[in-house]
Structure 1
Amino acid sequence: MSQLDPRNWDNFWKRANVTSMEGADFRGNYDLEILDFWKNQFSKGADHVVDLATGNGALVWIVNDLLNSPEPRSRITGVDLASTSPFETLKRRPADYPLVKFVQNTSIEALPFKDDSIDFIISQWGLEYSTLCNTIPEASRVLKPKARMAFICHYEGSSILKDTTMKLEKFTVLLEKEVVFERYLELDALYNSHTSQKGVQSDPRHSRIVGSLNQALYSIQHYIGRSTDPSINVLPKILNNLSELFAPRQPLKQPRRAKDILKLKDNVLASVARIEDLRAAALSYDECDELEALITEAGFAMVERKPIVHSRLGNVGMAFAAARGGADLNGSKIRGHSAGR
């Protein structure tokens, strides 16, 4: 379950991220095996689809392409606790998506739909951030007697969990071990107290501030050089952004420079918070079993449960698909329980 203030996600979505995997190079939206999973779920269509924890509507746009082209036939509603405005943020015209709607500031544990009114509920990397024992019964309430549900969830076996954990270690180096942002703020204060480089260099504080900053940068570069982890690339990008603020072509005195440094730090802190939130939300294997049990207790028969292995990113999550009341889930046979490990 998520412990994160929804405002943290507000800021993430306002940066026009379509997916929740910033920097994953999805070329606009989820692709390859992730997209194949959703194509398979929607080969039979649905009248009204609800995407839980929709963010900026990554799944909504995919489902719209699958069901409403060339003519709009299916209603698609994205629900999220954050203050998302996907049409505005992504600069998409509502007129081009006449059956798409987004509902913001709304918990997926208390859906704004009538009983027995929805055909298909879906979610990717969102359901597990809620309290499952509340969300699954709530989903069951709004779903029709003959209905479907499908989810992809973060779980302990995924490459994403491993990769983000390693990235968290890199951020810790910046924030706690080398306190890089504080050292740059000291340098900014020094620069802003003088009108010339000569004045800066003659200041008694100069050797201490520059020396400690250089030592921190040397330690980080040494750390980068020893690492074989691809996520290490996040550090040079941040360091380059900081260094650029003090480039020789920049004015010595810059009233806004400290704000820019703090903004970079805030972005890192927000990334740390989202990583920690993901780690808390990721399902254990036992919790995957518990989710499956909740789904079956709601009267659904499991159709499949399997890891989704992406050609570029590796294991990206555990997929669940289920049907109730004889709903046809794309011709798949109803199966018995499987560990899906």
Structure 2
Amino acid sequence: MTSRLSVRLSRLLNMIPYFIAHPGISAAEAAADLGVTTKQLMSDLNQLWMCGLPGYGPGDLIDLSFSEESIEVTFSAGIDRPLRLTSTEATALLVALRSIVDMPGMVDPTAAHAAIAKIESAIVGGSGAELDGARTPPTEAPAVATVRSALARQRALRLVYYSASRDVVTERVVDPIRIVLVDNNSYLQAWCRQAEGVRLFRFDRIEAATELDEPARPPSHATEESAALDLFQDDPAVPLARLRIHGDYAWVLDQYPMHRLAVHPDGSLEATMRFATLDWMARLLLGFGSGVTVLGPPELVAAVRERSNAALAAYAAAGFEEAV
């Protein structure tokens, strides 16, 4: 299942309990709460009409009464009943929660820790407070809390941001779009009014944030779900690798977000690729062996060379002879 389909499935599963708890809510209010456009919400509601229990007849499918003015569930097909997690599912959920709770901006840490305590209590019995009493939620930085609030309320933001690529601190006004997690770093994706384009702002580099008393107004093309699939494509704040790819390795252009620049007479290709962190990109390139050569930037060339030398030294220390 693609990430876009899994996100929509999660949203659809949550909609029925939500509308049961908010009978008669308008489409605009529901869309704002669920973080989608009114158009997407109406599309989801039409999809729900075709979901339900085996048999798939009039008495089996989810039934709703909805318009842009009011939405009500007339038959839930059992989706309103609480889910019962198996021990394996509960453990997987705990692992997922613990993996993101310390990532700035991804979740409300207080709510996440409360959920962790409840799941642990359900698994082993007893009080969640007893199980999680020794742990306290991490203190959320004021800037992070402000960004999450502005995103939820669809408000514009003024950011004071450190740009590592230029080693400068800038101030800019942005229209928040979504929060994403890439290579163990959390980012705010937003429309930057100064640059007039979509930009990524790493949470640990946001020095200050102020929620403005005006609605966020990102262009429609920037808020489409497909736009999230190419986050790094044209963002100058994200490092750009320049690569020379052997002709036999041309397949990597289909597997990774690379932009082909040229084809050389020997069949090799020159391409670029944006990357989130130096360590991740160096590990990726080492996996290609001699099939991909790094041309730049200098820090990536140095990182790949350093790791290659370390690997050769480890082989030598283990008593292996270098293949001739």
> So what's the TM-score if we normalise by structure 2?
0.21
Say which structure, 1 or 2, has more relative contact order (CA 8 Å, 6+ apart): 1
Higher share of residues assigned strand: 2
Q: Which has the higher helix share?
A: 1
Given the two structures, how large is their TM-score scaled by the length of structure 1? 0.20
